[in-house]
Structures are given as structure tokens and as C-alpha cells.
């Protein structure tokens, strides 16, 4: 560790600006470099560059210097008590250290992850001699920079309220951006691709409530005209609100906007020192695949807090779920509105005749899962309260322990166990989180008593505590607490409508996945997801962690399920692309989302879903461009098997895939699940063709992707 005690700090505040300007603090790893300085106003700023350093430049005779990734940008926070770090500061000192280590995730895209960075810690103090102290800690990786604010233990700063964070990300030019509107309560939007100067959320229909027209969410994916790919997000979001970004459409500056709390005072976070903010992350690369391969966000998260992890099992599942979306069944048991949880005699209600979570129907899914080696069966709508659960801002909405009269929880426990299948619990909260929190203990005991070891939670609607937001500090703490509480009960968790993830699945490996984006389900009851959607998600939402996207829809045109109600709704991909998503959309928890009767029509195609793993030793991004295409190949955990997914947007593409990732000298059987002749997401989505080839590492596969199409390939060694 190098320790640099800055002379400027010792000279005192009056000399800082000048001295500082002369010698900014720097850190670098490979092509990424960082400068930190006090500006003329003695506020700290940072800037980030990508490219060879000046020494290399001279040595190599290069003429062009490193590219500016982030222009000098403000750092700082203001506090509710007025005594924050938003004014002039003194740089008291700094340290750097180099770290190079590797660690093994409990599950993931790769077996082992290198954590290699140079760290620069800058010690700041308010100008008064006894002023409050704050550090900014930067970590410079080969693929980007992370930094956070840290508040050491100190007498003059114990409990404090963050009123605003002033972190800026000033971009040097009018980059292309892939963005969704800054809704503090939802991220279920399609992405808009535009120049930063064109950001305007006004025409977009809100999912919950949009804020400023120039406010967008992270992960924000950017591409510069000179070929840099930049992704801005955060890591390890704990005890702090999510960061949104206000876009200055004229200067191309981004400034952080924290989600406010319920008080209406503009307060953002209630903290107690020692404490720190989440890491602000900037991933940068000169090619798109490198962004997807980045482990920067995971590396900035803490190691697992779950000591014994053998019970955590990445898995596929089917479920009583899509049949509700396609209007073949209902979550609710009775077609009665205005139900009260307390005092209702559920046995006296009239069964509407199409309640999905009935014992016989669930057995059908268990049978299908058992026959096809799918470990899990999700059942939604099993518990009382669905008659008018949504949009009423109702606190006593579900109790999480009372099954509907036609759901025989004991019988299904016995039946599933007999078939070697696990039922997956569902806890829709209707965003009545206070209600859920006071019932969580009982709900998890109920799960343990009935053989459930995984739960899908949901947060549809407006939050209770009323006035709080899905992405505010209070809810962030709820999600993290729920990850911890489920871990304490040896329960895996998949959260829907939560804040978007920030790599916390490293710390809580039982937190398998989140929704927190616009999933496949939107195809069932909205204008749907455009064919490019799944080529953007990995560059945005998935940068923070796995998504329960619910791929695998085979019955692409939904009219066939219920023409009267589905009215030309359809999934906006081909069938083959649905298969490819199991590889391109990484998740340790993957649903085979369609109905058993849909799969039974296409068991040859279903074979890929049955075969494809959910945990991996290696991953290679073979080709990628956000909004256009993505080809990914992954090596199965502990096996010499590879699985490839290739997808395209609305344009047909040919992908020539070199198979040099395969073990040299080994022959493999490749089963290729490709778009069929004339396939087209809109006109002919279900045409697919399955072929087999024997290949080696020297082979090249030519994949033809239809408009909105894709291809999936399994490679198994030939014995």
C-alpha cells in the first residue's frame, strides 16, 4: 500500500485550490485511469479516461491520447442539517492500494472471478479544523471505475440525513443512450434509444408515476460516436435509495437523483456513521461484449453472508402463472369484489370455475415437471385475498398462510414430494409491505412446514407505508432484509416489482433473481416488448443481476388461448428465440413459462429447455450490440457441455459462430434449434427447425436468425 500524505492538505484550506490543481490524485489499471482533484471552488471532482497512458503513448509513438469517459464531475452530498459535504472541502490525505484476487461465486456465469483493481481513498474534511470527515473511495478496474462515499466513525457525525447526493457523470459528447423513464416505483418500461440531447420521457405512458421529463434510470447504457461503450449504475445498494439520473440535454451531464422518502421534506437517506453509500459504477470498454462480461459490479459487492449454501439450488421451474396472463384461468377464486381478509368465510364463496391454483391443475404441472426434470412448480393465486387485491392501497390484503378452499396444501405437499418436485411459494404483497413484514415470520414458518424452499415475492401497486417508493431507502432495506430473513429460514427468493438489482446476489446467494424490468409477461396484455428488447436488457437491467424474465413461450400467438380477451396479443419473438433467451438472459432461476399443453405440442423443442443448465463454469459473449443482437455461449457447471443462444432484433441476421471455445480435439454433437424457413416474429413465429451436427473446436456454425428470431444450440461431447 502506498500512502500519500498530501502536502496540500497540510498547507491548509487557503492554498488547496492552487496546489491541488497542480497535482491531481490519480489511479489507473490497464487502459482505465482516474483523476481526482479539488476544483477552483474547492469542491472535489473526478474524471475518467480510457486508453493508453501518456508514457505508453510516447513509447508507442501514438498520436491520440486517452479518450475522456467522464469529464470533471462533481462529488458531494448535502445533509438535512445543512452541515454536509456540498461546499468547499479540504483534502486531508489519500492512499492507494492494489488488489488482485479471485473468488468463487456460489453460482454464476463463470466458475471463478478475478477482482483486480487499484484503490484510491481520498480523505476529505469540512474546512473548519474540527469539521466533519468523509472519504471517497475509488476502485479502478480494467473495465471501469467504482466509487463510494464513506463516513468514518467520528464524534461530529453520528446520525445524519442525506438530503441530496450531488454526484455527477459529465459525458464528453452527445452519446447514444438506451434509457427508461425515471419512475421511482417501476422499471417495467421498454427502452428508448436516443441521443442524450433527445431524452424526454413526456410521451411515455407511466407505469406508476414518472418524475422529471429528463430523469432516467440506471443501469444506463451509453455508446459514444468514437466507439466507447459506457454503462452507469450502482453496486451494493443497501440502506440507501436507488440512484436515478437527471440528464442535462445540452451539456450531456448526468446528475444523481436519489429517491425521496415519505416525509415530503425531500429527505433521501437516514444514516448512522460509520456508514457508506452504494458504489457508483462506470463500466467502460471499446467493445460491447466486454461490457456484458464485466464483473465490476459483482466485485464491488460484499462476499456471501450466507455461510452454508448447499441448500441454495439454481433451478428451472414451471408454474400456474401464464395461464392467468392468457386469460385461461384466474388468480382469484371467486368473482366477488370488495373482500375483507378478516371475517370472510372463504368456504362460502362461490368458486368462479376457472381458478388456476386448484389442486388438480397444480398436479398437472407437477406431473409435467417430474416428466421433464424441472425441479420447481410455482403456484400463484393459491392464497386467499385475490378478489380485489390490486389498486386499492389496501393494507390487510393477504395473509400468506390461508389457501383457497380448492388448494389442498397438504395433499400437494405429499404429491409433489412423491414426484421429486418442489412447489415454489408465491407471496404477492400488493405493495402492502407493512402487512407483509408483520406476517413474514408466520409465512416462512408455513413454508417450512409445507416443504417450500423458494418464494417469489411481488410488489404490485403503491407502497404501504404510504408515501414511500419502491426504490426509496425504506423499501431498499425491506428487500435486503427479506433476503436475509429468507436466508435465515433457508429459503431462496425471487423478487418481482422490486428495485433493480445491484449485484447483491453475491452477498445473498439465496436471492436468486429479480424481475425489476419489463418481463415477457407484458406481451400478454400490453403493446408488448419490441423484438430488440431482449438485446438491450443484458446491457441495462441485467448489469445488476439475474432477471426472472420468464422465457419459453411456445404458443406465440395468444389469441389461440382466449380469442375474445387476448385480441391479437402475441409474444414479439419467434419460438426459437424463446429458447435462445435461456442462454442470452443469464439467471440461476429460469421459468419454462408456457402451459404444459403448449409444450406437449412441441416436445422436440422443449428438449432444449430440459437440457439447458442454469449454472455455469464459463461464459463467452461472442457477438453483441445493444438494440441489435447478442450471441452468448456458456459452459455447463462441471461438464464439458456448451449451450449457445443467439438473438436478433426485428432484423434478420446471419451469425457465423466459430466454435473455438470447445475443447480442442473433442467431437461434440451440436443440436441446433433454429428459426424455420420463413420464420418471422410477427408473421410466422412458430416455424422452427431442429438439426444435429457433429462439430469440433475448428468448426464454424452458420446461424440464420429470422426477423425477431434466434437460435439455441447445445453441444455435448460425443463419447
- The residues carrying an active-site annotation are 521
User: Measured from the CB of residue 402, what is the shortest distance to its own copies in angstroms?
Assistant: 16
User: Measured from the CB of residue 206, what is the shortest distance to its own copies in angstroms?
Assistant: 18
Q: Does residue 263 interact with its own copies by CB under 8 A?
A: yes
User: Measured from the CB of residue 126, what is the shortest distance to its own copies in angstroms?
Assistant: 19
H helical segments located in 489-536: 522-525, 533-536
User: Measured from the CB of residue 593, what is the shortest distance to its own copies in angstroms?
Assistant: 32
Which listed residue (56, 158, 209, 351) binds its own copies by CB under 8 A?
158
Which listed residue (17, 87, 248, 393) binds its own copies by CB under 8 A?
393
Q: Which cell numbers in the block locate residue 98?
A: 492494489
Do 625 and 511 touch, CB atoms closer than 8 A? no
Q: Does residue 156 interact with its own copies by CB under 8 A?
A: no
Q: Does residue 402 interact with its own copies by CB under 8 A?
A: no
Spatial distance between the Cα atoms of 676 and 691, rounded to a whole number of angstroms: 11
Distances from the Cα of 225 to the Cα of 170, 244, 291, 460, angstroms: 16, 24, 17, 39
Spatial distance between the Cα atoms of 647 and 167, rounded to a whole number of angstroms: 36
Do 710 and 580 touch, CB atoms closer than 8 A? yes
Spatial distance between the Cα atoms of 682 and 674, rounded to a whole number of angstroms: 16
- 3-state class (DSSP) for residue 197: helix
Phi-psi region at 592: left, alpha or beta (left = phi > 0; alpha = psi -120 to 50): beta
Q: Would strands 642-648 and 629-636 be described as parallel, antiparallel, or unpaired?
A: antiparallel
Q: Would strands 315-320 and 589-591 be described as parallel, antiparallel, or unpaired?
A: parallel
Q: Does residue 467 interact with its own copies by CB under 8 A?
A: yes
Do 570 and 528 touch, CB atoms closer than 8 A? yes
Which listed residue (159, 227, 414, 604) binds its own copies by CB under 8 A?
159
C-beta closer to its own copies: residue 197 or 489 = 489
Q: For its own copies, how many residues bind (rule: CB under 8 A)?
A: 32
**Beta-strand (E) ranges in 30-143?**
32-38, 44-50, 67-74, 77-79, 90-103, 113-125, 133-141
Which value, to the nearest 10 degrees, does the dihedral of the CA atoms of residues 414, 416, 418, 421 take? -150
Q: Does residue 311 interact with its own copies by CB under 8 A?
A: no
C-beta closer to its own copies: residue 234 or 387 = 387
User: Measured from the CB of residue 153, what is the shortest distance to its own copies in angstroms?
Assistant: 7
Residue with cell 416525509: 263
Radius of gyration from C-alpha coordinates of the chain: 26
Which listed residue (109, 135, 165, 261) binds its own copies by CB under 8 A?
261
C-beta closer to its own copies: residue 272 or 693 = 272
Q: Does residue 88 interact with its own copies by CB under 8 A?
A: no
Binding pattern to its own copies, positions 474-513, x when CB under 8 A? x--x---x--------------------------------
With the C-alpha atoms ordered 445, 447, 452, 453, is the resulting torsion angle positive or negative?
negative
C-beta closer to its own copies: residue 79 or 179 = 79
User: Measured from the CB of residue 67, what is the shortest distance to its own copies in angstroms?
Assistant: 43
Indicate the DSSP class of residue 528. -
From the number of C-beta atoms within 10 Å of its C-beta (0-12, 13-18, 19+), residue 373 rates as exposed
Cis peptide before 219 (omega within 30 of 0): yes
Q: Does residue 466 interact with its own copies by CB under 8 A?
A: yes
C-beta closer to its own copies: residue 270 or 525 = 270
C-beta closer to its own copies: residue 391 or 567 = 391
Which listed residue (57, 103, 127, 270) binds its own copies by CB under 8 A?
270
Angle at 208 between CA 204 and CA 209, to 5 degrees: 70
- Listing DSSP states for 358-399 in one string gives -HHHHHHHHHHHHHTT--EEEE-S-BS-GGG-SSS--SS---
Q: Does residue 185 interact with its own copies by CB under 8 A?
A: no
Q: Does residue 338 interact with its own copies by CB under 8 A?
A: yes
From 58-66, 81-89, 265-273, 367-375, span contacting its own copies (CB under 8 A):
265-273
C-beta closer to its own copies: residue 137 or 262 = 262
From 247-255, 311-319, 466-474, 676-684, span contacting its own copies (CB under 8 A):
466-474
Beta bridge partners of 713: 644, 672
Residues 431-450 touching its own copies, rule: CB under 8 A, are 434, 437-438, 440-442
User: Measured from the CB of residue 136, what is the shortest distance to its own copies in angstroms?
Assistant: 22
Residues 201-230 touching its own copies, rule: CB under 8 A, are none
Q: Does residue 337 interact with its own copies by CB under 8 A?
A: yes
- Listing DSSP states for 706-717 in one string gives PTT-EEEEEEEE
Q: Does residue 290 interact with its own copies by CB under 8 A?
A: no
From 23-31, 194-202, 335-343, 707-715, span contacting its own copies (CB under 8 A):
335-343
C-beta closer to its own copies: residue 170 or 440 = 440
Where does this chain bind its own copies (CB under 8 A)? 153, 158-159, 261-264, 267, 270, 272-273, 337-338, 340, 388, 392-395, 434, 437-438, 440-442, 465-468, 474, 477, 481
Amino acid at each position: 500500500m502506498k500512502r500519500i500524505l498530501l502536502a496540500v492538505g497540510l498547507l491548509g484550506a487557503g492554498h488547496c485550490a492552487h496546489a491541488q490543481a497542480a497535482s491531481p490524485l490519480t489511479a489507473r489499471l490497464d487502459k482505465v485511469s482516474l483523476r481526482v482533484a479539488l476544483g477552483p471552488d474547492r469542491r472535489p471532482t473526478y474524471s475518467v479516461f480510457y486508453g493508453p497512458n501518456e508514457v505508453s503513448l510516447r513509447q508507442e509513438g501514438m498520436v491520440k491520447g486517452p479518450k475522456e469517459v467522464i469529464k470533471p464531475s462533481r462529488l458531494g452530498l448535502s445533509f438535512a442539517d445543512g452541515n454536509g459535504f456540498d461546499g468547499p472541502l479540504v483534502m486531508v490525505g489519500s492512499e492507494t492500494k492494489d488488489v488482485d484476487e479471485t473468488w468463487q461465486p456460489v453460482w454464476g456465469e463463470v466458475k471463478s472471478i478475478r477482482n483486480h483493481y487499484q484503490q484510491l481513498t481520498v480523505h476529505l474534511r469540512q474546512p473548519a479544523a474540527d469539521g466533519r470527515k468523509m472519504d471517497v473511495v475509488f476502485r479502478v478496474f480494467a473495465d471501469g471505475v467504482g466509487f463510494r462515499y464513506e463516513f468514518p466513525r467520528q464524534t461530529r457525525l453520528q446520525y445524519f440525513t442525506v438530503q441530496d447526493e450531488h454526484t455527477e457523470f459529465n459525458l464528453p459528447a452527445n452519446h447514444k443512450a438506451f434509457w427508461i423513464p425515471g419512475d421511482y416505483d417501476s422499471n417495467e418500461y421498454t427502452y428508448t434509444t436516443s441521443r442524450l440531447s433527445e431524452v424526454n420521457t413526456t410521451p411515455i405512458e407511466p407505469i406508476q408515476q414518472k418524475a422529471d421529463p429528463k430523469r432516467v434510470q440506471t443501469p444506463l447504457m451509453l455508446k459514444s460516436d468514437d466507439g466507447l461503450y459506457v454503462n452507469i449504475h450502482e453496486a451494493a445498494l443497501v440502506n440507501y435509495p436507488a440512484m436515478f439520473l437527471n440528464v442535462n440535454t445540452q451539456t450531456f451531464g448526468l446528475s444523481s437523483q436519489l429517491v425521496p422518502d415519505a416525509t415530503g421534506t425531500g429527505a433521501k437517506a437516514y444514516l448512522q456513521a460509520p456508514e457508506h453509500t452504494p458504489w457508483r459504477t462506470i463500466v467502460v470498454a471499446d467493445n460491447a461484449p466486454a461490457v456484458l462480461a464485466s464483473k465490476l459490479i459483482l466485485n464491488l459487492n460484499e462476499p456471501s453472508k450466507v455461510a452454508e449454501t448447499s441448500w441454495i439450488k439454481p433451478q428451472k421451474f414451471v408454474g400456474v402463472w401464464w395461464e392467468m396472463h392468457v386469460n385461461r384461468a384466474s388468480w382469484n377464486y371467486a368473482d366477488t369484489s370488495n373482500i375483507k381478509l378478516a371475517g370472510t368465510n372463504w368456504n362460502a364463496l362461490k368458486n368462479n370455475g376457472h381458478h388456476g391454483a386448484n389442486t388438480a391443475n397444480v398436479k398437472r404441472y407437477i406431473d409435467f415437471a417430474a416428466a421433464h426434470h424441472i425441479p420447481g412448480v410455482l403456484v400463484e393465486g393459491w392464497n386467499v385475498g385475490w378478489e380485489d387485491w390490486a389498486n386499492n392501497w389496501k393494507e390487510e390484503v393477504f395473509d400468506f398462510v390461508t389457501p383457497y378452499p380448492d388448494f389442498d396444501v397438504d395433499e400437494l405437499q405429499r404429491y409433489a414430494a412423491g414426484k421429486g418436485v418442489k412447489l415454489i411459494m408465491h407471496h404477492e404483497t400488493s405493495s402492502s409491505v407493512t402487512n407483509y413484514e408483520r406476517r413474514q415470520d408466520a409465512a416462512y414458518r408455513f413454508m417450512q412446514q409445507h416443504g417450500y424452499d423458494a418464494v417469489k415475492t411481488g410488489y404490485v401497486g403503491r407502497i404501504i407505508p404510504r408515501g414511500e417508493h419502491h426504490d426509496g431507502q425504506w423499501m431498499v432495506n425491506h428487500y435486503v432484509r427479506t433476503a436475509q430473513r429468507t436466508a435465515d429460514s433457508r429459503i431462496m427468493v425471487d423478487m418481482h416489482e422490486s428495485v433493480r438489482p445491484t449485484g447483491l446476489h453475491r452477498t445473498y446467494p439465496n436471492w436468486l433473481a429479480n424481475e425489476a424490468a419489463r418481463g415477457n409477461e407484458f406481451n400478454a396484455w400490453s403493446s408488448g416488448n419490441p423484438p430488440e428488447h431482449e438485446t438491450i436488457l443484458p446491457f441495462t437491467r441485467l448489469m445488476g443481476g439475474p432477471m426472472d424474465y420468464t422465457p419459453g413461450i411456445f404458443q406465440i400467438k395468444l389469441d389461440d388461448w382466449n380469442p375474445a380477451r387476448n385480441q391479437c396479443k402475441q409474444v414479439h419473438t419467434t419460438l426459437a428465440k424463446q429458447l435462445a433467451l435461456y442462454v442470452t438472459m443469464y439467471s440461476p432461476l429460469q421459468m419454462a413459462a408456457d402451459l404444459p399443453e403448449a409444450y406437449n405440442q412441441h416436445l422436440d423443442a422443449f428438449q432444449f429447455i430440459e437440457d439447458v443448465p442454469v449454472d455455469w463454469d464459463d461464459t463467452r459473449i461472442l457477438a453483441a450490440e445493444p438494440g441489435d443482437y447478442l450471441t452468448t455461449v456458456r459452459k455447463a457447471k462441471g461438464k464439458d457441455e456448451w449451450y449457445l443462444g443467439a438473438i436478433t432484433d426485428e432484423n434478420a441476421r446471419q451469425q457465423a459462430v466459430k466454435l473455438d471455445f470447445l475443447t480442442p480435439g473433442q467431437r461434440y454433437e451440436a443440436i441446433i434449434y433454429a428459426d424455420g424457413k420463413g420464420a418471422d416474429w410477427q408473421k410466422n413465429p412458430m416455424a422452427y427447425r431442429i438439426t444435429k451436427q457433429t462439430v469440433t473446436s475448428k468448426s464454424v456454425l452458420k446461424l440464420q436468425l429470422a426477423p425477431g428470431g434466434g437460435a439455441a444450440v447445445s453441444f455435448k461431447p460425443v463419447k
